[in-house]
Amino acid sequence: MPELYLYNSRKVRLAVLQGLLDTDGGPVTQKNRTCRIQYTTTSSRLRDDVIFLVRSLGGIATITPASARPPPGLVKGRPVHHRHDAYIIDIRLPAGIEPFRLTRKRELYNAEGGGRPMRFIESIEPAGTAEAVCIAVAAADSLYTTEDFLLTHNTLNDSFIILDEAQNTSAEQMKMFLTRLGFGSRVVVTGDVTRSTCRPARSAGCGWCRTSSTASRTFTSPG
């Protein structure tokens, strides 16, 4: 699929997805379950492009490989020997997005009620250590899009945050914490520099609390 279609307006991306689903996709209904969408292709590139379109529209897509193993398949009782491995993509789209233009598919999907996308965190695993840079975006909610169209942010807006026992943070940890300060937020950092577990103590994040042996500092965002 040309990138011109993938990186286009929402209207164009939805129209492309609708055309694909009208031809090689369809609604799948199961008893006591909401309706989902299924698309099948033998092309790994088209598989990736369909998933890209779905995720760019706020949906989720999962893949189930289907191997072409003997015996041959049948079409109207006639054996089909030349088959290919296929990719079955299960799709769920947000409310308000119509996946089909074909009347019969659209009516079935709307009658059964489309299943909405849901995401869960299954595990958090270490990925290693690398250089990182904190960024800020102009959006009022500080959200930006990362890989696989996941929305995230690294700032806290309209919040009041207290960091206690700051004497036990490293300078890098303190910098990371303070750079999360978003619009309209306030951070209070407290700590006792005489009880730091960092060595040397003055190189730790508690260096922000130097006014007395037990001190606090308040940081307010410019917003």
Q: Are 50 and 39 in contact (CB under 8 A)?
A: yes
* HEC-encoded secondary structure of the chain: CCHHHHCCCHHHHHHHHHHHHHHHEEEEEECCEEEEEEEEECCHHHHHHHHHHHHHCCCEEEEEEECCCCCCEEECCEEECCCCCEEEEEEECCCCCCCCCCHHHHHHHHHHCECCCCCCCCCCCCCCCCCCCCCCCCCCCCCEECHHHCEECCCECCCEEEECCHHHCEHHHHHHHHCCECCCCEEEEEEEHHHCCCCCHHHEHHHHCCCCCEEEEEEECCC
Indicate the pTM of the whole model: 0.65
Tell me the per-residue pLDDT of 134-175, one tens digit each, with 9 for 90 and over: 677 777 777 888 888 887 776 777 888 888 888 788 777 877
pLDDT of residue 207: 55
pLDDT tens by residue, 9-40: 999 999 999 999 999 999 888 777 777 899 99
